[in-house]
Structure 1
């Protein structure tokens, strides 16, 4: 007998659970299918020292806030995973763990082939996470087999790497944090940079997230960007109480900064001469943030909320940036490569024409052209907050309302 449901949610992480909350609010019958365990990626794809990048008082899912004795601190990733698990219990989410969806097609309704049999549903919400399959550039295939290579999703800490220098490729939030950690562990580190945005961890006593909220950054939608392409990642960290991330400081402390990786052959890397340009762009985003925060601060001067202006320097810090175009791995003693090069979409199992040429869902705030099929929790799906734990509930509420409105027609 084929199992049937009104709505199936695929994925038991924060997005799927927030969706369950709002489906329950509308009294809509549903089930959540999770390939592993609740919050699987929080358990399995985080390095040992990682702390959540936003302060504790901002951690929440619809109907439940994270409780901490240090509201301005940064929770260890294991505490976040536990919070998500407790949230599932709190809302009595109908999660079935250990069931992977292997194909999704549409007939009279949606047909899901799973590792536990066939499931049919009127509606399907794909909430499999903002970061899916680790992506390693083609150049990685040409590196010497003797090198230890690991993607940031599977990196755990300095102790797992063999002796020798380390090459970190990519300077998004993960790449910069890992490069910092390795440097502080006494490793010789080379960092091949990519485009990123730099901001202060705190300004006038308030966390950067507070400023983002007050400046309306979370209300800016993807439609404001040409071709709906989201901007570079913002580098922040919650490690050691949270501090400013700055590739130039990494360089001042002895790290070697290289341009983007272009190719590799016979143990030689070819890198671009764009490192200085990339860091210059990051400095500009820092300056722009401070300027915008100064304007925004005028609204709160009389409230006593803000500390005195600590005169954050808008001038880029001095650091030597390597202009090398080639790197000899053996000569530099590089024994390990960490790929902090992001992720690709992994929707090959969806047999419905709702994907673009690069495999990205074609959607508008989660709504697709296939009635009853939705996506949730993607990076910049609608706004910067769409893929973030504390903000995914907004899009979940929108989809629940859309389902309700559609059913009335």
Structure 2
């Protein structure tokens, strides 16, 4: 087997995680290479719908050393500009990124240090491997999805705009940020839309002249080390669309979106929903109000001069779809021709053939340092804290991992 090249650290993936990793390795003078099977930040370009903007304001949702050109600090950056940002950022320090190269396997060398990495372009040997492919790898459609050729079904990763869908109504399953924004866009485009709402957190977009990203920062919530028990799979409903706004399910219903509970099962053309819609919305309200309470207490404690906003606690009346919930829907009779599954993703590490996973094939790591010496994970939710999913959080996680690699190198290079 001919080895094409050797490098100290191989970074796999050139999204925000891979670019951040490369910057820190460059800073430390560590020889490295970044491989990307498509283009830099490809997920931002082709794995999101056309109108998507970042969910965090430009002043916050970025790397520390570069702002978004031409975007106001409180603006929300369109997805193509986010991708362009990472390309420009990589160019700032001449990141050694090779695109169009797919990694097919990583195995530990026997009887000598390091790893052998097989790729679509040859074999590479590396002393350290960083899996920076992130959490959004394989779209998940749950097994309850009906087998029905009359229905057009797709994951939110493959939704781009209303025009791509056949005529007729749409059922959107999942009410996190993606599901809510897609349902809103489709209804505004004139579609009849049903939105299946499960458990969720619903933070205010802004409160008392501060974005919720600011509030999570000053309240120390970005640094939470783990999600609350029972909330591991709770989605977050927040939007930067149309200048940013608080997601309000009652307002969506008033607008014309028909809300239903968690999707339970399909039988023929009929779908049943759990009777949990009111409970899910109420729990989302509790999350929303708890952040307002924490913000008010912080303002009082620190004597800040921020205007009161009592109207933020006013809720619209409960819509009919909440007080008299739809528990069963005949999709054919309702004219629903499309189901969009906004049901998340799963990671695929089948190429990473090392002892770094638990019995459920989840990465075993501490702040990205895996149980397999020399292997690292980057870009995963809650890698080190709540903020790890976000652009700025990835940058800080990458710094920690790069410093860890540098420390391990110093040990391996020791000679008496």
Task: Specify the TM-score bucket, using the shorter chain as the normaliser.
Answer: over 0.9
- Aligned partners of 1:241, 1:291: CA distance in 2, in Å? 25
Q: Which residue of 2 aligns with 1:51?
A: 53
Q: Which residue of 2 aligns with 1:78?
A: 80
Cα distance, 1:62 vs structure 2: 4.6
Cα distance, 1:244 vs structure 2: 1.0
Cα distance, 1:15 vs structure 2: 0.5
Cα distance, 1:175 vs structure 2: 0.4
Q: Which residue of 2 aligns with 1:312?
A: 312
Q: Which residue of 2 aligns with 1:211?
A: 215
Go from structure 1 to structure 2 and tell me whether the alpha carbon gap of 1:358 and 1:263 turns closer, same or farther (over 3 Å shift): farther
Q: Indicate if the aligned counterparts of 1:8 and 1:31 stay in contact, CA closer than 8 A.
A: yes
Mapping of residues 8-407 of structure 1, within 5 Å: 8-107=10-109, 108=112, 109-140=114-145, 142-222=146-226, 225-226=228-229, 230=232, 232-302=234-304, 304=305, 306-313=306-313, 315=315, 317-320=317-320, 321=322, 322-407=324-409
- Aligned partners of 1:197, 1:40: CA distance in 2, in Å? 28
What's the Cα RMSD here?
A: 1.7
Cα distance, 1:308 vs structure 2: 3.6
- Aligned partners of 2:301, 2:406: CA distance in 1, in Å? 39
Q: Indicate if the aligned counterparts of 2:48 and 2:159 stay in contact, CA closer than 8 A.
A: yes
- Aligned partners of 1:253, 1:357: CA distance in 2, in Å? 46
Q: With the length of structure 1 as denominator, give the TM-score of the two structures.
A: 0.94
- Aligned partners of 2:295, 2:137: CA distance in 1, in Å? 34
For each residue in 1:281-322, what CA deviation from the matched residue of structure 2 results, as whole angstroms up to 9, or x when unmatched?
Answer: 1011011111111111225544x4x23434411657422225
Q: With the length of structure 2 as denominator, give the TM-score of the two structures.
A: 0.93
Go from structure 1 to structure 2 and tell me whether the alpha carbon gap of 1:55 and 1:193 turns closer, same or farther (over 3 Å shift): same
More moved, 383-392 vs 75-84: 383-392
Q: Indicate if the aligned counterparts of 2:134 and 2:347 stay in contact, CA closer than 8 A.
A: no
More moved, 22-31 vs 100-109: 100-109
Q: Indicate if the aligned counterparts of 1:259 and 1:271 stay in contact, CA closer than 8 A.
A: yes
Go from structure 1 to structure 2 and tell me whether the alpha carbon gap of 1:63 and 1:69 turns closer, same or farther (over 3 Å shift): closer
Query: What SS does structure 2 have at the residue aligned with 1:284?
Result: helix
Query: What SS does structure 2 have at the residue aligned with 1:335?
Result: strand
Go from structure 1 to structure 2 and tell me whether the alpha carbon gap of 1:357 and 1:225 turns closer, same or farther (over 3 Å shift): farther
Go from structure 1 to structure 2 and tell me whether the alpha carbon gap of 1:158 and 1:405 turns closer, same or farther (over 3 Å shift): same
Go from structure 1 to structure 2 and tell me whether the alpha carbon gap of 1:47 and 1:168 turns closer, same or farther (over 3 Å shift): same
- Aligned partners of 1:169, 1:381: CA distance in 2, in Å? 27
More moved, 351-360 vs 6-15: 351-360
Cα distance, 1:64 vs structure 2: 2.1
> How many pairs align?
404
Q: Indicate if the aligned counterparts of 1:346 and 1:359 stay in contact, CA closer than 8 A.
A: no
Any stretches of 5+ residues in structure 2 without a counterpart?
412-416
Query: What SS does structure 2 have at the residue aligned with 1:105?
Result: strand
- Aligned partners of 2:311, 2:330: CA distance in 1, in Å? 42
For each residue in 1:28-80, what CA deviation from the matched residue of structure 2 results, as whole angstroms up to 9, or x when unmatched?
Answer: 10000001010110111111111111111223225322233521111111111
- Runs of 4+ off more than 6 Å: none
Q: Indicate if the aligned counterparts of 1:287 and 1:314 stay in contact, CA closer than 8 A.
A: no
- Aligned partners of 1:316, 1:352: CA distance in 2, in Å? 53
- Aligned partners of 2:314, 2:373: CA distance in 1, in Å? 50
Cα distance, 1:112 vs structure 2: 1.1
- Aligned partners of 1:297, 1:212: CA distance in 2, in Å? 13
- Aligned partners of 1:282, 1:316: CA distance in 2, in Å? 14
Any stretches of 5+ residues in structure 1 without a counterpart?
none
